[in-house]
Structure 1
Amino acid sequence: MNILKQELKMGRKSLIVWCASLVGTLAIFMMMYPMISDQAATFEKVFESFPPEFRKALGLTTTNLGDVLGYYSFAFLYILLAGAVQAMNIGVSVLSAEVREKTGDFLFVKPVKRSKIITQKILAMLIELGIINVVICLANYIILSLVSKDAFDMKLYLLLTGSLLFIQLFFAAMGLAVSVFLRRIRTVLPISMGVVFLFYIIFLLNQTLEDPKLAWISPFGYFDLSYISEHVAYQSKFIAAWFVLNAIFVFFTYKLFTKKDLPSI
């Protein structure tokens, strides 16, 4: 329990900054919605002049920018990207922090099993991700209610917003697995950004090439906002794949970290 409290205390400032940043970014996007909705036809014509591949990459093929949730799904893609970086950052750093901050010798000689340490740190990570998703869900709802003159589909809103939690949990679990494979991690952000943007590029390629194989590689494709907006549902096959991959990441984290030789400080 002390480990859990310490992890939450250490991540408090970062959590506040990320919450404010993500909510603020979406607020800036949504402030432009009234102007865009009034001139939706003009914007649609402009986007139609773009190459089809470019429109697919931005998710503008089925998006109705004149509808508040249509515009929200377009803007929320960038929140997903930033949120994925944050989650990967937490996942990579939560176990590797002891080595980077030279506290590993102190923690791992205590009469506490490594499996318990991992569990406490993962719980702290889940609590942080849960908090940020609750804050974003409530804040985004308020923002949409302020900028929209009409009521919107609450189910679709929850599905679109809930995709952030799934994306973040995926990258957080992957970050855990990455951290146990690497012996020393000096800086976390380059790894997090590199992995997230690699998967995002794969997602963009799939949007343009429409290759079924690529759709299975990137988690951004599992929760394609255009598909969710059109069908008001997630794809069950990708939900199943998401559960399997997350279980594999967590299994290997426990398996490898409990036997890993940690470098002495």
Structure 2
Amino acid sequence: MFETTRFEARRRLRGTGILAVGLSLYSAFIVWYFTVWEGADIEAMFEEDVPPAMIEAFGIEALGTIEGFLGGQIYTFLWLLGLGIYFAYAGAGLVANDIEQGRMDILGVFPISRARLLGEKFSALLVPMLGLNLVVGIVIYGLVFAIGESIDPVHLTLVHVLSIPYFLVCASLGMLLSVVVDRGSIAERAAIGLLFLFWLGESVVSGSGDFSWLAYLSPTQYYEPTPIVIDGTFDPVDSVILLGAFVALQALGILLFKRRDL
């Protein structure tokens, strides 16, 4: 049982470890950088030099606090955009790469349904999703404590836990591309472009009158890390919407995978 999941999960362990180290080092730099700016009026400087659209896009808020600084420099830029793109990219390689390299022909002879095969391959992505959230969350909490600052552990936990439905949607979008495209490289590039367009489009059209409704088509609309890490503000409905989108994308992906020629 779940042999495919175990095999795929083991393949992702090394990459997850390397990525966790890289993200932890970047987080350490950002926390140190906060100490360099401590005492300066960072918010006034950003409001003077950075366009309002950029401030909105990067979740810049309360930069004079460690929570606001982490929200803008790590959780909006790195977590929302960077890891969102990473999981879309990872999902885009699930099927298309195996088809392109001929591995799917071997997997197809096993006594396992296509729905289960796709589900087990996708579930291996929980290794980096859970591992990165756990490791980096603990590292950030320790770094903040080390510089003599404090951060609410509940808010920090929430910003990591609530990222998982968002990552599931990102990975599912990539998986859908992987099912309908034959070449892995094309599916992966399309996934990167799609997530970036979602983030950029949501930032541009949000609050723009007649076109503001377009923002609700983007998964980035339903995960706002900066308010969560600052004061724990979030709407549970957003997570429900993301989970609903995840289920719908999975169902569509399975349906298309069942019908396609391998």
TM-score range, shorter chain: 0.7 to 0.9
Partner AA of 2:234 in structure 1: Y
Instruction: After superposing the two structures, state which structure 1 stretch, 47-56 or 175-184, moved more.
Output: 47-56
In structure 2, relative to structure 1, the CA distance for the partners of 1:3 and 1:57 (3 Å cut) is: closer
Q: Is 1:155 paired with 2:127?
A: no
Aligned to 1:17: 18
1:107-118 matches, cutoff 5 A: 107-118=107-118
Secondary structure of the residue aligned to 2:259 is: coil
Aligned to 2:144: 144
Aligned with residue 70 of structure 1, among 62, 68, 87: 68
Q: Note the C-alpha offset of 1:213.
A: 1.0
Distance 2:146 2:17 in 1: 23
Aligned to 2:191: 192
Partner AA of 1:101 in structure 2: Q
What's the TM-score once normalised by structure 1's chain length?
0.87
Check whether the contact 1:100–1:186 (CA below 8 A) recurs between aligned residues: no
Secondary structure of the residue aligned to 2:96 is: helix
Check whether the contact 1:89–1:189 (CA below 8 A) recurs between aligned residues: yes
1:165-180 matches, cutoff 5 A: 165-180=164-179
1:36-55 matches, cutoff 5 A: 36-39=37-40, 41=41, 43-50=42-49, 51-55=51-55
Q: Note the C-alpha offset of 1:116.
A: 2.2
Q: Note the C-alpha offset of 1:179.
A: 1.4
Distance 2:161 2:6 in 1: 26
Check whether the contact 1:57–1:208 (CA below 8 A) recurs between aligned residues: no
Q: Note the C-alpha offset of 1:242.
A: 1.0
Q: Is 1:209 paired with 2:208?
A: yes
Aligned to 1:85: 85
Q: Note the C-alpha offset of 1:74.
A: 0.8
Check whether the contact 2:12–2:127 (CA below 8 A) recurs between aligned residues: no
Question: Which string of whole-angstrom CA distances, capped at 9 and with x for unpartnered residues, describes residues 41-65 of structure 1?
Answer: 2x222122134333323323xx222
Q: Note the C-alpha offset of 1:203.
A: 2.5
Partner AA of 2:47 in structure 1: E
Q: Note the C-alpha offset of 1:120.
A: 1.6
What's the TM-score once normalised by structure 2's chain length?
0.87
Partner AA of 1:8 in structure 2: A
Secondary structure of the residue aligned to 1:152 is: coil
Distance 1:208 1:170 in 2: 24
Unaligned 5+ residue runs, structure 1? none
Check whether the contact 1:36–1:65 (CA below 8 A) recurs between aligned residues: no
Check whether the contact 1:56–1:208 (CA below 8 A) recurs between aligned residues: no
Q: Note the C-alpha offset of 1:9.
A: 2.5
RMSD of the TM alignment (CA)?
2.2
In structure 2, relative to structure 1, the CA distance for the partners of 1:209 and 1:58 (3 Å cut) is: farther
Distance 2:4 2:54 in 1: 47
Distance 2:158 2:29 in 1: 22
Distance 1:129 1:192 in 2: 17
Q: Note the C-alpha offset of 1:208.
A: 6.4
Q: Note the C-alpha offset of 1:96.
A: 2.2
Distance 2:228 2:214 in 1: 18
Distance 1:215 1:191 in 2: 20
Q: Note the C-alpha offset of 1:83.
A: 0.8
Partner AA of 1:34 in structure 2: T
Q: Note the C-alpha offset of 1:186.
A: 3.5
Distance 2:62 2:229 in 1: 10
